[in-house]
Amino acid sequence: MTQVFENNDLQPVGYGRMLRKEDARLLRGRGRFVDDVQLPGMLHLAILRSPFAHANIVSIDTSAAEASPGVKAVITGETLKGLGLAWMPTLSNDVQAVLATDRVRFQGQEVAFVVAEDRYQARDALELIDVEYDVLEPVVDVRKALSPDAPVIRTDLEGKTDNHVFDWETGDEAETDRVFASADVIVKEDIVYPRVHPAPMETCGSVADFDPVEGKLRLWSTTQAPHAHRTLYAIVAGIPEHKIQVIAPDIGGGFGNKVPIYPGYVHSIVGSIVTGRPVKWMEDRSENLISTGFARDYIMRAEIAATSEGKILAIRTNVLADHGAFNGTAAPVKYPAGFFGVFTGSYDLQAAHCKMTAVYTNKAPGGVAYACSFRITEAVYLVERIVDALAYELQMDPAELRLKNFIQPEQFPYTTKTGWVYDSGDYEPTMRLAMEMAGYDELRKEQAEKRARGELMGIGIAFFTEAVGAGPRKNMDILGLGMADGCELRVHPTGKAVVRLSVKTQGQGHETTFAQIVAEELGIPPADIDVLHGDTDNTPFGLGTYGSRSTPVSGAAAALVARKVRDKAKLIASAMLEVSVADLDWVKGSFQVKGDPGRSVTIQEIAFRAHGAGDLPDGVEGGLEAQICYNPSNLTYPHGAYICVVDIDPGTAEVKVRRFIAVDDCGTRINPMIIEGQVHGGLTDGVGMALMEMISFDEDGNCLGASLMDYLIPTALEVPDWETGFTVTPSPHHPIGAKGIGESATVGSPPAIVNAVVDALKPFGIRHADMPLTPSRVWDAMRGQATPP
Ligand code: MCN
Ligand code: CUN
């Protein structure tokens, strides 16, 4: 950890607090989102979705729909089958129906689509499509899905006779069993991380415009990964890649929901090819909730082994993962369970083991979404919940138990028992700062007094380490595409610059922070640096924004490309100042002659010279620009200590989050204001998941969270004033020492809140309760146990 003093002047040349550049348009309603795209002659597309979770399609009659006013085309699975487009690959090497042919496998699955002159005509025509279904028994419960007599969902996969997606294992089973056998204390708990949904403010959609003369497809779409999507469209549709332009304009939140390729995107492409006109598809809120990438849905059995003094020895877990009807999760190929392997947390263990079975059910596909850092949400929840259960059994303070077991600073780089190499960390100061900000000892005193009066107050702690910045090409790819990122930087003659990124902001403020990274390296003010992103014709290849990888990967690329430009500028400066390169010092924004600071040239003067009249030094080309493709050598490992204080109304069982203290360590901080925004948003997500949000299904497979009336998301009313703090432990391998922050708070806050609620319920003898801790669940938990003393 290093001591830092942050720049608070609001107009930094480099890192520091700075208002977001993109806000000039976003706050004035001048943002341009996919639904704002209007092209001449544009048609509108609506999707017919299955009302059943599991059914055979007997017949589809589209004649009435085709005759409906304004309708230009009605497309079914059979039409697509003829074109070889009925199925598409998912990001996890499975296949998913673009339109159902033989059968439907989840409620909301795409069955047909209509293209019409306007949105209303398209929707009206859906009502006229007559589909005859033969309803089948749905598989809703993940445990039942594995029973030998369960109906097989994926009959489309040749030779498939069960509902297994994959089995996965990590760690050393024998060694873990051995350590468990020698432990004084073993604590076991069944922990469910329910299915939730990212529910971004803007739903998913696209506008496709295929030009048959040029043979070029332009696709505006809500995608977090424009380049990866383009490559997949090229492979699936057989259109040459250079003839596809994917444009992600402004995006109204993604949270992982906009990583997968959805059938609707493909429908709009097919619609445009078939009609010869641009076609827009924009889903509504219910469509977004029932059919697009969900998150979590893990049933976890957790066990922890320790000595009676509270030294944690080992953790093992058995997980049932519900993947829905198609494995639509996005994870690096070698990591089918994402980065769940970091379930060993921030603790120095002797052994660890995880066994996981992933299962198909008749539910919407998805799995990796909602600020999850590739399943680190589930892993952190598991370890932080089971460590608290251990503290309960040992009657130890949960902060003390954690402090006793942290990986120590001198142990970094630290290889976990599941093979992850934590690059750096210094946990105790972060934990101590959170405790100090919370006034931990006083809070415990207050709690004791309240308990004596029968009041329910809880204090919950969570400490997390994340692995973000996927990833090194040696072991990380998505469908064969390496997870490196390109970056291009051009300095114009007058010293203004443009930097082109392969990542794509959905609200994280890249147009500001990436300008700051370049500004820090080159001394050009951020206002003079434009950040271009989200258009495959104008940006270098790279895998996009998710897993909080933009700063760890693309941010590194931006710093390194700026250094490349600076190296070239130095050669030009040496010619301008008529001294050797070795005699130059870089003082932010200019090169000075060593020992003679009066003789210097600014980067702007150098830029003009690079494009200007007169010879340049031998071997130096004109212009001032560079490009790079950055392949990270490791992930970055941010960490954080969160403390939550809740009060529970004993009469209504309502949980109120009274205080929340979040101390994050994301290494070097580029823009503290944006970091705080990311943390505030993630903490709010955490309140949603811990207390309110769940996508559930009835026994027929009907989705019960199909609107925001049923699927509750938090508002400003449900959250406290967040209290944030930070420590700084730079990443040793990242060129500027930065680690990701975008998902930290979503990862770390649910266990802190649940630990607080369970702590409040301690007088009832409760050691665990599952999310979401709604009043009715808390009420049931209280009534199912002994009354408080
Ligand atoms: N940052 C910084 N200093 C650091 C680390 C990050 O100033 N040491 C800044 C970055 O420059 C960037 C922001 O914080 O502007 C987030 O950076 P990073 O952690 O690299 O995460 P990404 O940019 O890759 O964003 C992805 C992450 C993910 S995966 C989800 S999900 C999520 C999240 O971001 N979705 C979001 N935050 C979101 N915020 C908004 N507003 N909308 C979403 O959809
Ligand atoms: Cu998992 S949600 Mo974010 O990685 O786009």
Model pLDDT, residue 11: 84
Full-model pTM: 0.97
pLDDT tens per residue, range 291-302: 999 999 999 999
Ligand located closest to 513 CA:
1
DSSP of 443-506: HHHHHHHHHHTT-EEEEEEEEEE--BS---TTT-EETTEE--EEEEEEE-TTS-EEEEESS--S
The helix (run of H) or strand (run of E) holding residue 305 is: strand 294-306
CB 711 within 8 A of CB 693: yes
- How does pLDDT run across 147-175, given as a tens digit for each residue? 999 999 999 999 999 999 999 999 999 99
Residues 6+ apart with CB under 8 A from 9: 16, 17
Task: Give 235 Cα–ligand 2 centroid separation in angstroms.
Answer: 24
Q: Cα–Cα–Cα angle for 293, 298, 302, nearest 5°?
A: 155
Residue 217: CB within 6 Å of ligand 2?
A: no
Backbone angles phi, psi at 449, to 5 degrees: -65, -45
Mean pLDDT of 736-763: 98
Average pLDDT over every residue of 34-54: 98
Ligand 1 center to 505 CA (angstroms): 8
Q: Is 64 exposed, middle or buried (0-12, 13-18, 19+ CB in 10 A)?
A: middle
Q: To which H or E segment does residue 405 belong?
A: helix 398-405
Detail the DSSP E strand segments found in 492-638: 497-501, 529-532, 584-587, 590-593, 596-602, 624-630
Where does the pLDDT of residue 391 fall: very low under 50, low under 70, confident under 90, or very high at 90 and above?
Answer: very high
Binned at pLDDT 50, 70 and 90, residue 556 comes out as very high
- Residue whose CB lies within 8 A of the most ligand 1 atoms, among 468, 499, 508, for a mutation test: 508
Check whether 788 has a pLDDT greater than 50. Answer: no
Question: Could you tell me the distance, in angstroms and rounded to a whole number, from the CA of residue 742 to the centre of ligand 2?
Answer: 9
Q: How confident is the model at residue 789 (pLDDT cuts 50, 70, 90)?
A: very low
List the structure tokens of 609. Answer: 């010279």
Cα 386 from Cα 758, distance rounded (Å): 12
What does the pLDDT read at residue 75? 98
Average pLDDT (645-657) is: 97
**Residue 309 carries which side chain, given as an amino acid letter?**
E
pLDDT given at position 702 = 98
The pLDDT assigned to 786 comes to 45
The bound ligand whose nearest atom lies closest to the alpha carbon of 255 is 1
DSSP 3-state of 319: strand
d(CA 571, CA 60): 70
Q: What percentage of the chain carries pLDDT values higher than 70?
A: 99
Place of tokens 């391998």: 733
* Closest atom of ligand 1 relative to the 372 alpha carbon: 31
Distance from C-alpha of 252 to C-alpha of 105, rounded to nearest angstrom: 29
Residue 8: the pLDDT is: 73
Confirm if 121 and 46 have CB atoms less than 8 A apart. Answer: no
Task: Give the pocket of ligand 1 (CB within 6 Å).
Answer: 200, 253-256, 371, 506-510, 513, 545-551, 666-671, 674-675, 678, 681, 738-743
Alpha-carbon torsion 115, 116, 119, 125, what sign? negative
Q: Is the CB of 371 under 6 A from ligand 2?
A: yes
pLDDT at 713 over 50: yes
* Nearest Cα to Cα of residue 418 among 746, 176, 165: 176
In ligand 1, which atom is closest to the CA atom of 681?
Answer: 39
Mutate to test the pocket of ligand 2, among 372, 380, 689, 746 (most ligand atoms within 8 A of CB): 372
Instruction: Give pLDDT tens digits for 764-787.
Output: 999 999 999 999 999 999 998 544
Any idea which residue has 């040793």 for tokens?
732
Phi, psi of 380 (to 5 degrees): -70, -40
Cα(260) to ligand 2 centroid in Å equals 10
Q: Taking residues 427-454, report their average pLDDT.
A: 98
Ligand 2 neighbourhood includes 88 CB (under 6 angstroms):
no
Q: Which atom of ligand 1 is nearest to the CA of 638?
A: 8
The count of other CB atoms within 10 Å of the CB of residue 62 is: 23
φ, ψ of residue 645 in degrees (nearest 5): -120, 125
Task: For tokens 């942290």, name the residue.
Answer: 406
Q: 78-106: per-residue pLDDT in tens? A: 999 999 999 999 999 999 999 999 999 99
Amino acid 784: pLDDT: 83
Distance 217 CA to ligand 1 centre (A): 30
Q: Give the DSSP letter of residue 271.
A: H
Record the tokens describing residue 762, joined without a space: 């301690």
Closest C-alpha to 222, from 485, 534, 515: 534
> Is 235 within 8 Å of 228 (Cβ atoms)?
no
Position 29 pLDDT exceeds 80? yes
In 3D space, the residue among 225, 291, 232 whose CA is nearest the CA of residue 254 turns out to be: 225
**In the predicted structure, residue 181 carries a pLDDT above the cut 90:** yes
Atom of ligand 2 minimally distant from the CA of 375: 1
> How is residue 603 written in tokens?
């980067």
| Residue 381: per-residue pLDDT | 98
Spatial strand order in the sheet of 130-135: 103-104, 55-61, 130-135
Atom 14 of ligand 1, residue of closest alpha carbon: 675
CA 181, distance to chain mean position in Å, is 38
What's the pLDDT tens digit per position in 198-235? 999 999 999 999 999 999 999 999 999 999 999 999 99
End-to-end Cα separation, the chain, in angstroms: 44
Find the 121 Cα to ligand 1 centroid distance in Å.
Answer: 39
Nearest CA to ligand 1 atom 16: 742
Amino acid of residue 200: P
pLDDT at 3: 62
* Ligand closest to the CA atom of residue 260: 2
Q: With bands split at pLDDT 50, 70 and 90, how would you rate the model's confidence at 1?
A: low
Confidence of residue 545 (pLDDT cuts 50, 70, 90): very high
Q: Is the pLDDT of residue 693 over 80?
A: yes
Q: Look at residue 2 and tell me whether its pLDDT is greater than 80.
A: no
Interatomic CA distance for residues 626 and 370, integer angstroms: 35
* pLDDT tier, 236 (very low <50, low <70, confident <90, very high otherwise): confident
Residue 81 CA to residue 682 CA, distance in Å, equals 42
Q: How far apart are CA 693 and CA 713, in angstroms?
A: 6
Report the separation in Å between the CA atom of 285 and the middle of ligand 2, taken as the mean of its atom positions. 20
251 lines ligand 2 (CB under 6 A): no
How far is 549 from 223, CA to CA, in rounded Å?
A: 15
- Mutation test residue for ligand 2: of 223, 259, 297, 635, the one with most atoms within 8 Å of CB: 259
Q: Are 289 and 327 in contact (CB under 8 A)?
A: no
Ligand nearest to the CA of 505: 1
Q: Please check the confidence at residue 71 and state whether its pLDDT lies above 90.
A: yes
**Distance in angstroms (rounded) separating the CA atoms of residues 684 and 143:** 31
CA 184 / ligand 2 centre spacing (Å):
39
- Residue 542 CA, ligand 1 centroid: distance in Å: 17
551 CA → ligand 1 middle, Å = 8
ipTM: 0.99
Give the contacts of 169 (CB within 8 A, at least 6 positions apart).
353, 354, 355, 356
Q: How confident is the model at residue 237 (pLDDT cuts 50, 70, 90)?
A: confident
- The full DSSP string for 385-401 is HHHHHHHHHHT--HHHH
pLDDT in tens, 463-492: 999 999 999 999 999 999 999 999 999 999
Grouping H, G, I as helix, E, B as strand and the rest as coil, residue 527 is: helix
Q: What is the mean pLDDT of residues 582-600?
A: 96
288 Cβ contact partners less than 8 Å away, ≥ 6 residues apart:
197, 199, 200, 203, 204, 257
Nearest CA to ligand 1 atom 40: 507
Percentage of the chain modeled with pLDDT above 90: 96
Q: Which two tokens stand for residue 757?
A: 């609620």
Q: Which ligand 2 atom sits closest to the C-alpha of 338?
A: 1
Dig out the tokens for 661 from the structure: 């203290």
Average pLDDT in the chain: 96
